[in-house]
Structure formats: structure tokens, C-alpha cells
Structure 1
Amino acid sequence: MRVRLMLLLLCVGLSGWVPSAFALGNCSSDAYVRSFDARLSGAGCVPLVETTVHWAGGRQPLRMVTSVESAAEPSLVHLVAPIRSLAERAGRAMDEMGGVEIAPVTIYLTSLPPPPELGASQPTAALARPFPDECEVVFYWSPEGESYDFLMFTLAHELFHCISAKSFLSVYNHESAIWWAEGSAEYFAHLAYPGTSFSDGDIAEFDAGSPTQPLWSFTYSSVPFFFWLGQNEGPNAVSRFVHGLATGDGAAAEHAALRRMIDPGQWKQFGEDYLDGKIRQPAGRLMASTPQPGALRRITGPTTHRVASQPFVLHRERLSFARGKLYTLQQDNIDAGLSVGFSNTPGVWISPPDNVTACREDVLYRVLATTTEANGAATYQIALPPGIDSEGACCLVGEWSPTQASREGEIAILADVGAGQIAAAGGSLSCEPPEGTWLLSFSGDGTGSVDWQGFTNRCITRAQGGEMETASTRNGTTGFEWRTTGPGGGTARYVENSVEMTINMKLGPMTVLDRTAPDAGPSVESNGFAYQCTAETLSIQGIYGLNYRAGRYTRVSEPAP
């Protein structure tokens, strides 16, 4: 676990900055050396590396120094190349962000342990103290500690404190700025040193706290938001965002500034992308996040459910609808500014559904509630709709395709009715296998349909040396509202009929009839039907347009939740 310490905003007192009383960068000045850490009194300082940070807007010197005694440590030579690389990477990252600058920087490398008042639990830590003429970074380093990559990542983070104090002073000089000061510094370090896992611990803190904590209550662990902002709008968006943050202290000031800079749609989108695992660090590494899923509530029957959230909190929970039932959701009220999204498919978020179909298995929804304004809540009435609240009704829900025997049902009826009479007159009747099909659908909202898709019967009558071919084709939809009335029974009320019938008759090679006309539709507004249903098969009689020979079906698709 790494330790990186925020610059001492309060100790330095940025709101009342004054130039250093000592000569800038004068290693022979004990006052200058003690400004890094009072325990360094008498240690002096010796330059180890002197280089320059170049960016589009200018250049500033950067150097690393250490005590006279430590300068003889042979291993320090290995820091020369990494520090030069740090300066180059920092300059490139500054260009990517845009709108930033940096003061001259001195990094004092010491093997002293971090002072107890800094709260560091590990031997490696860094602390930035920005002054108007120079940004001082004290680097408490143990040679047996972290890798050089980690050390440079840590220093890049501290350099952004130097950059922030120079570039964003009006929004930087108060205590409550710590949330973005640390989160954006972490983002900058990833721009300079992309593809690392050094923020994974901070991301885990956001995972744990974001269901109840507002964004401004985090420090380093606000970095997921900056990853998202940079990923979606580019690194320059991070710079623009920080420029517009609060100039006053306290949670109310941070909230007001966030409302000004991030609209409700952006905050909602961040929450959805975060929960869906879509956020990436600079250069594309997927953010190592495991969001807390939120409380689980199991729904088994009629109930009232309340969802609430606070500004810039990612409130989430889960609703599990018990299998074997159809449910309705009705939003009673929702406070202004609150957005509530439901998702049962990764990457797909919808408004709270009017109906939930949980026929074959439990249906689990993730729920995300967000607001940027004020505390808000929404209330939902969950019910079992009358007439479709039984497990038998639930079995009906879905799309059904006729079996081959059902598709050939009309041919069988023709044979039953006409073939004998034609034969008695010395003729014959033969029919081809039908073309096209139809689908029978029952929806969880109590609607249904018979959708004819070019279903065609073609028969040939032969008599006295001649033949006549007759083809009948159906297209269109019969729509109905359905309810069950008990085990194996229900009613259908017809509300739509757009079916058209096309009849084509040929006498030998000559077409004698080719006509398309609307289907007459059902003669009654509603009627009963009988059914037997299993997980994969359906037998049904009584739906308009389907004769008694067209009564067997297999399931095409599961009902959508």
C-alpha cells in the first residue's frame, strides 16, 4: 500500500502566500533546508539531478537534491534517468490537459521517516509545499521500498499539486478542495505514467463509499470520476472542470460548484458507466472496480417501494422479482431533480418498467438513483395485475410458433370438408405444404396478437381433364387483450384487426381471380379460450383466426422482463 500525502494547504496558508524568507534554492541556507523538514537542520543539500519541465506554454527548472551525507549513497545514481523522464512525462501530460503551468520545483530526497503528524504508515511518502517562487516537494524514501515506477508515479502526483497551486489558485486555497486536488493529481499521474495499478486501492475505496458518500467527501478515491471525465471528453476537460470549481470553503460551496460544472445527465451517465465497468484509465487500462451492488429487496407480491438519493451520490440497490408471476410498477411520485434507472442487462439502462415478467425465473434489476440538486425520493406501487396474476397466466406469456401439424391444419379441414365431395364428382383435391407462418403472442401487460406472416395455402382441384389452382395468403395482425379466468381458461377481447386475405385462382394457365380484401374480423367483441401450457408447448383453442386444427405451438422466445 502506497502513501502519498496531500500538500499542506493549511500549514502553508495559501490564502496568505508570501515569498520565502530565504534565498531560493540556496542549499547553503539552513533555513531553506529546514523548510522541507525541520529535522533536516544542518544536513545541507546537494543537487542529484537538474533538468527542465517543457510544455507548450513555457519551461521551468526541476531538480532533485539530497543531504550532503546521503549524496554519497551509490544507489542514488539510479534515480537520475527516472527523474529526467519524470520531467519529460510531466510536460507532455501538461500539454494534454492544457491551461496549466508550473513553478520551479525542488524535490528533496531524504531517508528520514515521514513525520508522525502526516499520518504515513509506510516508509515512502511525498509532500508538496507550493510557494510563489518555488514548489518544494519532500520525498521520504526508503531504498528497500517501492519500485522506481511507483516512486515516479508518486512524484508525478505531487507535481500536479505544484501545477494546481500555480494554475488553479482561486479554487485551490481552501480545505474542502482536497477532494479534487487529490483526485485530479491522481489522474495526472496516470497521464504521465499510464497503464499502472497504483490507484486500485483508491478505486476500492470509491467502490465501498460511493453508495452513500457525495463526490466531494472523497480524496484520492475521487479518481474514478476524473478517469471518466478524461475518457469521455479528453484530458483538457479535467483542466476546464477544475478551473470552474468552488472558490469558497465547505461542502455547500463544493456542491454548488459541482452543480454548475456537471449537469444531471452527466452525473447519471457517470453512474451508469461506473456500474457497468466501462471506465478506463488513460491509455485504455480498464479501471479495476468492483462496485458495491447495494441492498437486495425481494419482491413476492404487492408492495410499496421507495428509492432515495442525495446530491452527487451513486445510490444503488437491487430488486429481485420472484419467479412465476407478472408484476406492474406504477410511479406514485418522484421529487424534482431525481433520476431513477433500472437495468437487468449490462450496459442497458431504462426508466422504471411498467411491467415485470418473472415467469421462468427470478428477475433481478439493478437500480441507480442520482441527483445533482437536493435530497430526493421516488415511490413505486408494485402490484399483481388482476386476471394475469397466476402461474398459469405466466406460462402463456411469450411468443409461440405453430407446429407443422398446426400449419397444415387448414389443409386437413379442406380435406375433411371438400375432398370427399370432389371425389364423388369424379375429381381430386391435392394441396402443397403451406408457405409462411404466423406467431401467437401473449405479453405480460395483458395484450396479445396473432401476427400473420405471409401464411399461404395452395391447393389444386382436378376434374374432367382440367385443373384449378387456388392460393390464399394472410398478412397482418389481430390484436387482443387477454385475461385468465381460472386454470386452463381465459378471455380475449379483440382491439385490432389489420389482417388482409389475398385470393389467387388460376384455371389452367389463366388467372381468373386475384383479389386482396380486409379480413372481416371477429363477429364478437370478446370470447373465451381454453389452453394447456408447459414450459415449451402450448395447446389453445378459441383465439379468432385460428381453427381447431391450428391449436398446437412451441415457444419461440422467453418473455422479456
Structure 2
Amino acid sequence: MRAATLIRGLALAAGLFLPLLVSGPAAAFGDCSAPGYLASVEERMEGLAVDCTEVDRFQIETPKGGRQVRIVRTSELPTTDIPVLVREIRRGIEQSAARLSSVGAFAPADITIWISHLLPEPAADDEELDEVDGQIVGADDGCRMALYPASTGRRGLAITAAHEFFHCVQASEFPDTYDRASSSWWVEGTAEWFANLVFPGTGTSDGFVSEFDSVSHDTALTAMEYESVVFFFWLGERQGSGAIGRLMRAVQQPGEPAQQDALAAFLPAEEWQDFAEAYLSRRIRQPGGRAIASSPFPGDIYVWGEGSHSHEISARRFILARAQLEFGCGVWSVGEQSVAGTRAYREGSGSWQEELPERIVSDGGTPRVFQMAGFGTGPEGFSLRIEAFKDACQGCPATAAATGSLDQCLIGTWELVSGGYGAMIEEQLRQTGIFEHIDYPDLHRHFVLEPNGRYRQSPSEGGESGSMSERTPEGKLWQGFSNLRLETEGSWSADGNVLQLCEEQKSVSVDLTVIDPKGREERLDQDHEVTGTLSLLRSREYECSGNSLSLIEALPGAPAVRWEYRRQQ
């Protein structure tokens, strides 16, 4: 017991006499016992009589020369742990000074560190009432810092000292912007990054990473505080520690809009996009290589189901935009419009691509899901509209129907007996009263439904012929003769009494001869073939019995069309 007491006494005495051994010029520190001295950094000390004692003083080297650091305590602080507390604080400051040159030509003023005996007080503007581990204020004798061992514990003092040390650097280098509300995002984010640079792999920032996960989908980077450290982890890893110093110098304009303009100029758009992708891919690492403990929110889900849909995705300036794009069963034709900012997509854990596939086929029981990552640094922020049109002829899954599921009566080769599009067109032309004679050619005379779910429609051999004539009021006769060859093919299925025809390919050939009143002929030949991914879906009610097949198709705003077929085979 006596030995332990003696050791603690010697350690305390060494701390008290150490200022006499410090080399270099002594700093003009103020009297920490003077009224208002400690109150400048801790308002709860206002009006209290203070018995303040210096327990350590040492010199650090910075890119701008030597600086003096002293550590003080008040009489209310228990003396038992003072040597340990001083050791940890000094370790944090000295290691911070050693790493500062990697950030840039920065330096703090001389520093007074008060080891506070107070219990930590919750931050007044923090909804979750996080405890304050430390705080600083610039003063006429340098930077005054308060540390709270009751909050940090012994082990946390060193990294907290490193965080507050960087605040002293900021207060010295950027006195006009350091304590502005619009600067909190870079002031706190860079200080937390620096503490991790000095003491890598500690995991003390995990809570701030979790907060970034919670708010980054709707909060601009420039509206954050400590949680912005995620961005600085990425920037330091991507461009080195010097980039942090360059960024601080670049954003010294007062006000968030001005700082956003400076940020937009600081990094090109593709770098901001890489930050978005790196975060959502969970590949950002802290100094020292430890992966951040992040669980990103993947974004709202935008679903493409039946029919065609257009979805708009937007985010304000400097918000990390993200979304999940879900495509249901079918074949989709996809297009992007109204793009502001940058974006990229990936499916599952695949690589990021700048554009969505123009054609997305989803033929399984699970929809295909693409994640989008985007970032907008311009005043308009981020915006994107995605349109996707589903091929109405592709079922789910998009395979030919099994033979056993098809109505066997339908399978075969059918010949048109009456009705159809040709008869409907002829009737409409007759009703105009213009033509003296009309015989419109039949369309789709032959109709073949195959057992593999495919079909084709074709004319008679040589095509389908037609004719019409018109007589002018003066009695002059105009005549027209045509030969039409219309062929279509596609897939078919039957559901109840409804026949679904998915028209995928069409070819048309027309030979037209016009004879004027003097008997002169003029001929017109035209061939046309259409082949496309998306198809036209035709639905017709049917009755099939033996060798007869009747079809009825309802047309919007027009009479229904009826076909009567007889079986050939």
C-alpha cells in the first residue's frame, strides 16, 4: 500500500515539475484560475471560484513551427488518476502533431487543455442528447480545450484529444468560418476523420457511420455534422490525406449555397458518383484499412408491373440519391430521360454500369432488381425519369406454352370462309357512297395454329385480289385493281374462351393498278417488312368445334370483327 502511494506521488510530482524541463520559449498562457478563463470553454464554470493547477507542459512540432501545450486541472478532479489521464492526453496530442503534415501546412495556436472534473453535459442542439466528450474555443492565449474523462474513459482520451486538436487547427487556420453553423459538416467531419487517421482501427466512429446510414438518403452532405465523416473517409482513401486539407481551404465561403458551389468545383462529377457507388457497395474504408461499419439504405422501390410505367426519381443538391428498380415478369424496353446529375446501376452485387440495359427480360418467378446510385452537385440537384414498356405478347415465364395446356381443337390449318378485316373495311367503304363497285381483298385467309404455341397467317398462293371503281359526276370511270399479300406470325395461347395472338412479325406486299377514263394504266408496287422486339397483342373470343372456328374481336369505337374459318387439316 505504501509503495503504491509513493509511486503515485512521484508520478504526480514529475507532472508538476515537468514544465521546468521543457525546452523552447515559454508560451504566454493566461492564468487558468482567473475569473472567466475556464468559463470561456465551459459555461458551467461561469462565476465559480477556480483553483486551477498546471500538471504538464510540452512542446510539439508542426508544419509552421513549434507550439506549446499545457495540461491543467482543477482541485475538484481526483488526483489518483491524473498521471494516467495526462499520459493519454499527451499521447493524443503528440501523435496528432506528428500526422498533421500529411494533411497540409497547418498548425494550431498554443493549446491549454483542461481535464474537466464535470460530468459531461448533453449537447443542447442534439435530439439524441449525445454527451460532449470535448470542446474548444479560440482565445487570446491560444486554443483552450476541455476534455471530459467521465465521458470518454481513460482509453478514449487520446482519440478525443486528437479530434479536439484538429478543431484547434481549424480555429487557428480558419477563424472566420470555423464556428459558423454552415461549416459544421466539414468542421466535425474532418476532425473525426483526423482522429481516425491518428488512431486507426478504433471503431469509435461507428455511431456516426450509423447516423449517416439513417439520414443520407434525404439530408445533404453540407447539412450534416459528425456523420459526414463517411465522406471524408472516402475522400482520404481516394485521394490521400492532403485532399482533406485542400477541401477545407476550398470551402471557406460563408453559407451553405456558397460552400456547395465550392464543393461542386472541388471534385468533378465522376468523383462524386464514385463516392455514391463506393458507399452503396460498402467498400469505403477508414484510415488503416478497416471497413466502415455501414448498412446503407438501398432506396425506395420503384416497380414496373403490367403495362408501361414512368417513374421519376429526384434528390436535392448533395444528397446521395439511391433507388431500387424492380421489373416484373416480361420483356421490357427501357429508356432514361430528364437526367440531372450522374447515375449508375448494378444488378445484385455486380459491377456498376452507366446505363440500364435497353432490353430487360424477366422470365422467372422473382423480379429483376437493379440498384441505382446517383449524385447531383448542380443547383437542380439530381433528377431522373425512367420509362419501361412491357411487351404485351410475352407471358411469364416467356416460353412457349406446353402442348398439353393448349386447346387441341384450335391446333391445325384453317381457311377463312367469311368475315375478317377485309370484309369490315369493304363494308365501311360501301357506306361512304363513293364507289360504284368494290371488292376488297381478304386478309389472313389462311390461319395456322401450331402445337408448339406458334402461329402464322398468310394469303392464298399468289396473293389476294381486289377491285373497285368510281364514276365522276361527268360519268367518267376510274378503276383500281389490287393484289395484296399480308403475312404475320407470332405466338399464341388460349385462356378459357379467349385466344391470345402475339403478333411479332409482319410483311406486306401490294401491287396496285389504276386505269383512268382514257384506259391508261399506272402501276404501283410496294413491299414492306417489320421486325421488332415488342409485339402487338390481339385478344379474340373463340368457339371451336370439329371443323369450324369462329373468332370475335372487339375494337374500340368500332363494330366487332368476326371471322369464320373451316379446317383444312
For 2:80 and 2:295, how far apart are their aligned partners in 1?
43
- Corresponding residue pairs, total: 383
Name 1:348's counterpart in structure 2: 351
User: Which of 271, 274, 286 is the matching residue for 1:281?
Assistant: 286
Q: 1:491 to 1:298 in 2, by over 3 A?
A: closer
Please state how far the C-alpha of 1:248 moved relative to its aligned partner: 1.5
Matches of 1:483 and 1:207, distance apart in 2: 53
Counterpart of 1:137 (choices 136, 141, 145) is 145
The 2-side partners of 1:68 and 1:526 are apart by: 92
Cα pair distance change 1:349/1:85, threshold 3 Å: same
Task: Give the letter aligned to residue 224 of structure 1.
Answer: V
Q: Does 1:271 align with 2:276?
A: yes
Residue 55 of structure 1 aligns with an amino acid whose one-letter code is: T
- Which residue among 39, 42, 49 is the counterpart of 2:49? 42
1:418-466 Cα offsets, whole Å, 9 max, x none, are xxxxxxxxxxxxxxxxxxxxxxxxxxxxxxxxxxxxxxxxxxxxxxxxx
Could you tell me which residue of structure 2 aligns to residue 375 of structure 1? 381
1:111 to 114, 117, 130: 117
Which position in structure 2 is the counterpart of 1:92? 98
Tell me which residue corresponds to 1:30: 35
Residues 158 and 328 of structure 1, relative CA distance in 2, 3 Å threshold: same
Shift of 1:81: 2.1
Q: Tell me by how many angstroms 1:216 deviates.
A: 0.6
Any gaps of 5 or more consecutive residues in structure 1? Answer: 1-22, 397-481, 494-524, 528-561
Q: Secondary structure at the match of 2:288?
A: helix
Alignment of 1:377-526 (within 5 A): 377-385=383-391, 387=393, 389-391=394-396, 393-394=398-399, 484-486=490-492
SS in 2 for 1:96: coil
State the one-letter code of the partner of 1:59. G
Matched, 1:168 2:174: yes
2-side partners of 1:123 and 1:264: how far apart? 37
Identify the match of residue 127 of structure 1 among 99, 118, 135: 135
Superposed, 1:197-346 pairs within 5 Å as 197-249=203-255, 251-301=256-306, 302-323=308-329, 325-331=330-336, 333-335=337-339, 337-346=340-349
SS class of match (1:283)? coil
Distance 1:85 1:391, change over 3 A: same
CA contact under 8 A between 1:246 and 1:256: conserved in structure 2?
no
Cα offset for 1:392? 5.9
Shift of 1:307: 1.7
TM-score (norm 2): 0.62
Summarize deviations over 1:521-558 as a string: whole Å, max 9, x none: xxxx999xxxxxxxxxxxxxxxxxxxxxxxxxxxxxxx
Check whether the contact 1:60–1:104 (CA below 8 A) recurs between aligned residues.
yes
Return the alpha-carbon distance in structure 2 between the equivalents of residues 117 and 322 of structure 1. 48
CA distance in 1, matches of 2:159, 2:221: 24
- Aligned equivalents of 2:400 and 2:277: distance in 1? 33
Q: How far apart are 1:294 and its partner, in Å?
A: 1.4
Relative distance call for 1:206 and 1:484 in structure 2 (3 A) is farther
1:47 is displaced (CA, Å) by 1.6
The percent of aligned pairs where both chains have the same amino acid is 27
CA contact under 8 A between 1:52 and 1:59: conserved in structure 2? yes
- Residue number in structure 1 paired with 2:58: 51
Q: Which has the larger radius of gyration?
A: 2
Distance (whole Å) between structure 2 residues aligned to residue 117 and residue 286 of structure 1: 29
Do 2:89 and 2:161's aligned partners in 1 also have CA atoms closer than 8 Å? no
**RMSD, aligned CA:** 3.0
The one-letter amino acid of 1:342's match is Y
Does the CA contact (< 8 Å) of 2:53 and 2:73 recur in 1?
yes
Contact 2:363 2:397 in 1 (8 A): no
Question: 1:412 corresponds to which residue?
Answer: none
1:116, distance to aligned residue in structure 2 (A): 6.5
What is the match of residue 80 of structure 2?
A: 74
Q: 198, 205, 211: which is aligned to 1:192? A: 198
Q: Which runs of 4+ in 1 moved over 6 A?
A: 488-493
1:366 is the counterpart of 2:374: no
Against the structure 1 CA distance between its residues 31 and 208, is the aligned structure 2 distance closer, same or farther, given a 3 Å change threshold? closer
TM-score (norm 1): 0.63
Partner of 2:188: 182
